[in-house]
Amino acid sequence: MSEISRRRAIGALAGGAGALSMGGVALSREALGWSEDEGLYTLPPLPYPPNALEPHIDEQTMLVHHGKHHAGYVRGLNKALEMLHQIRTGQGDRATLQHWQRQLSFHAGGHINHTLFWNGMAPPDHGGGGRPTGALATQIERDFASFDKMAWQFRAASASVEGSGWGWLVWEPLGHRLMILQMQNQQQMMFAGAVPLLGVDVWEHAYYLRYQNRRKDYLDAYMNIINWSEIGRRFDAARA
Ligand code: MN3
């Protein structure tokens, strides 16, 4: 996924098509936690209480996933940016450039993926689950024949990611169509131009406490908490 596409996705997330009110919290430019004053990324709060997605995703998983794993990506991103700054200005070891470039890609991927992930879910009684409507629903029918076929491929592709990674529904703007992709780790196997719309985390840390090795059960549960209105908003923004 190119940086431009990531920025487009985050720009959309940040309210380019109008602020979204979710759980009383309006998403804004601060959705990604960038602090202009400090020149650092900060961990954005969850858009709902950590127990809000029970029983589909349990509170302890949410607390550890957000407070430890996602926080780690934010720290890693800031560290990579700082080390690359030092290398550019002659204070750092140029021989380590490749290492920090890899760190940048991995941790920026982690931070953006998780920010999209949290905001792409909602409790079932606050808009989670169901099916998309509007232009996204029409596009899904065009590109996958039906919502059910898309949902099947999304779950199957996500279930079969080797090791740690993500399943994504993306907008491919050149072909003007939706696609489902697998992502390994936080950044591999996405192609330039793909705009992320819906992504599910299939690292074991996302489901192991409740589901152990039953990734498919976790994915079935995940379908009950997808915030389709937010995904539809990202789709509209990606095509604008
Ligand atoms: Mn994760």
Q: 113 alpha carbon to ligand 1 midpoint, in Å? A: 8
User: Per DSSP, what are the bridge partners of residue 178?
Assistant: 171
Q: 155 alpha carbon to ligand 1 midpoint, in Å? A: 17
Is residue 155 located within the same domain as residue 55? no
From first to last of its 240 residues, the chain has per-residue pLDDT tens of: 444 454 454 444 444 333 333 222 234 457 889 988 888 999 999 999 999 999 999 999 999 999 999 999 999 999 999 999 999 999 999 999 999 999 999 999 999 999 999 999 999 999 999 999 999 999 999 999 999 999 999 999 999 999 999 999 999 999 999 999 999 999 999 888 899 999 999 999 999 999 999 999 999 999 999 999 999 999 998 988
Sign of CA dihedral 193, 154, 21, 50: negative
Distance CA 105, CA 167 (A): 18
Give the CATH number, domain containing residue 170: 3.55.40.20
The domain boundary, picked from 61, 87, 122, lies at: 122
Is residue 129 located within the same domain as residue 199? yes
Give the CATH number, domain containing residue 79: 1.10.287.990
Distance CA 236, CA 8 (A): 12
Domain that holds residue 215: 125-239
Number of domains in the chain: 2
| pLDDT score, position 31 | 84
Q: 230 alpha carbon to ligand 1 midpoint, in Å? A: 20
Of 94, 91, 126, nearest in space to 226 by CA:
126
User: What's the residue count for the chain?
Assistant: 240
Is residue 99 located within the same domain as residue 204? no
User: Per DSSP, what are the bridge partners of residue 180?
Assistant: 169
- Given a contact cutoff of 8 angstroms between Cβ atoms, the answer to whether 225 and 123 are in contact is yes
- Cis ω for the linkage preceding 50 (within 30 of 0): no
Is residue 116 located within the same domain as residue 220? no
Is residue 87 located within the same domain as residue 137? no
| pLDDT score, position 30 | 75
Is residue 112 located within the same domain as residue 130? no
Distance CA 39, CA 43 (A): 13
**DSSP 3-state assignment of 22?**
strand
Q: 206 alpha carbon to ligand 1 midpoint, in Å? A: 6
**In terms of DSSP bridges, do strands 25-26 and 21-22 run parallel, antiparallel, or are they unpaired?**
antiparallel
Is residue 180 located within the same domain as residue 105? no
- Given a contact cutoff of 8 angstroms between Cβ atoms, the answer to whether 48 and 27 are in contact is no
Q: 228 alpha carbon to ligand 1 midpoint, in Å? A: 20
- Given a contact cutoff of 8 angstroms between Cβ atoms, the answer to whether 40 and 111 are in contact is no
Distance CA 40, CA 220 (A): 36
